[in-house]
Structure 1
Amino acid sequence: MQNVMGRKAAGHPWFHRLSRGGLVARGVLYLLVGWLAVRIGLGDGGGKEADRGGALQTVADNPGGSFVLWLLAAGFVGLALWQFSEARYGRPLPDGDSAFNRLTSLARGVVYLAGFAATVAFLLGHGGTSSDQQSKTYTARAMAEPGGRWLVLAVGAGFVVWGVVSLVNAARRAFLDELKTGQMNDEVRRRIVVPLGVAGNAARGLVGGAVGVFLAYSAITFDAGQAKGLDGTLREFAGTPAGRWGLVAVAVGLLLFGLYSFCEARWRKVEAVPDTRA
């Protein structure tokens, strides 16, 4: 009975609207982070960090900011519930009910739930710590526990694998499998959705993989100070041979992923997998 009721709730149109609203919230967050990173790359960071905290502070500094932040928090709840429903009932993809796909959705749900918690904490005045400091603090705490060093290494490796998979899927345009491409006209798909999806997912994978590299390195060297959050990772791109333009290029990619998220809000398959059991 609970399974039937849960599947019915996951298939309700309002649940789908909540999921799509969450994708809009994700897009807004990436646009803000990308814009802050562009400004840092151009030498005008405005004192804000290119991470979730900096993005939330940017919203809070504007009229009606608190209201918008509550909307973003609600959006992350929608994302978390949607991913947990996919973990429970499967994703609307070929082989979407496999253990791998379910675990992937579960992991995403946990990340989005953490995003909700971080947004609420910021609203309640407890979100002043930067992503870099948080990463160093949590890494140090983990490595102080028995086996914690290996846990940090595993998490770092997981980020690296996720980043590589994201890059490969961007190149293969595998993200189109998650979209209702039949509802797009050919011009929109070729000129808007595909370019945004390729560039945005590639930049997201590149940044996520880099975060994983720093985490893994901190575990290998047993030095929590080597771990970096989103802001610190992005700034490292300015230290590459491409200089600040390397950071700007990655930042623009995050901006494009924010725009791609709006495409997902319109065309993403968010319906639960039908129950085919007799």
Structure 2
Amino acid sequence: MSAQQTAGRVARSDALEHLARVGLVAYGVVHLLIAWLALQLAWGGGNGSADQSGALQTVASEPFGRPLLWVLGVGLIALALWQAAEVLRYTGGLSGSGDAKKKAVTGVVKCVGKVVVYAFLAFSALRFATGGGSSSSAEQQQTTSGTFGLPGGRFLVGVAGLVVIGVGVYQVVKGLRKKFLEEIDTSSASPQQVRVVERLGQVGYVAKGAAFVVVGGLLAYAAITFDPSKATGLDGAMHTILQAPFGQWLLTLVALGIAAFGVFCFFRARYPQRT
């Protein structure tokens, strides 16, 4: 049996699909919690980090929070495996040429990126479930500091910042051009639901992309100033937005956009893309 056939069987597995749906819901919940923390930060009532570590810490601090984090972690692992199966599905096109090869390369890059994101978030959820979670901002600063010690480390950090900025711009374009509709099967949804999905996706991806651009900008600034403390991740990006002119309202808009993305993830779980 070929890798593509194996990938197809894995991706069509009912058990994996159900777990992937849990993962999509978990992904949405994390974004809703980040949005809530950002709103608290904007209006002076937040003490936790407005990023994924703050969101996971919020869940861990609640009754039955740690068992819930185990469920979220397993679901996110399934979501990563689902995307990994997609990588195998695209590998056959890599040996082709022209548009077919370009489409295959693009598909592999996107899927690998999603696998990394989902796997990292799953790992973080399981760490918090076992009481070993830590601040994402602190971890990024430590990683940046360690990278500075490598030959060409400053250049690597700068490139990483530019890559993150590129990802942010891509997310914004994806939202504006509605490319996210390729990731969700709304054939069984009503016209009203489709319109809601479109609006949520547009607002969500634009807001998330804007946050990524700021995160990448801070990483690039850390490389320019040779100061790892500037690489403060998403939480630092939220504080940077807050300090801008009309920052309170800008951060509120970003938070509402991230919340819209979280709800969009629920629709993705309801209408998952068929491979």
Q: Same fold (TM over 0.5)?
A: yes
Alignment of 1:142-157 (within 5 A): 142-157=147-162
Of residues 139, 160, 163, the one that matches 1:158 is 163
TM-score normalized by the length of structure 1: 0.90
Alignment of 1:76-225 (within 5 A): 76-90=76-90, 98-128=104-134, 130-190=135-195, 192-225=196-229
Paired positions, count: 266
Q: Provide closer, same or farther for how the CA distance between residues 97 and 79 of structure 1 changes in structure 2, counting only shifts above 3 A.
A: farther
Letter in 2 for 1:56: L
Separation of aligned partners in 2, 1:6 and 1:57: 35
1:252 aligns to 2:256 (yes or no) = yes
Structure 1 residue matching 2:78: 3-state secondary structure:
helix
Letter in 1 for 2:253: A
Separation of aligned partners in 2, 1:187 and 1:117: 37
How far did 1:97 drift?
5.4
Letter in 2 for 1:64: F
Q: Which has the higher helix share?
A: 2
Separation of aligned partners in 1, 2:156 and 2:114: 19
Provide the alpha-carbon RMSD of the alignment: 1.9
Separation of aligned partners in 2, 1:97 and 1:67: 40
How many percent identity over aligned positions? 36
Separation of aligned partners in 2, 1:198 and 1:160: 19
- 8 Å contact kept, 1:59–1:69: yes
Deviations 1:165-221, CA, capped at 9 Å, x for gaps: 11111111111122223222111112x111111111111111112111111121122
Q: Name 1:28's counterpart in structure 2.
A: 29
RCO higher in structure (CA 8 A, sep ≥6): 1
- 8 Å contact kept, 1:19–1:270: no
How far did 1:255 drift?
0.9
Q: Name 1:275's counterpart in structure 2.
A: none
Deviations 1:86-138, CA, capped at 9 Å, x for gaps: 112139xx96951122022112201211111111222222213x222111110
- 8 Å contact kept, 2:222–2:230: yes
Separation of aligned partners in 1, 2:180 and 2:205: 9
Separation of aligned partners in 1, 2:149 and 2:274: 41
- 8 Å contact kept, 1:42–1:244: yes
Of residues 260, 263, 267, the one that matches 1:263 is 267
Letter in 2 for 1:11: R
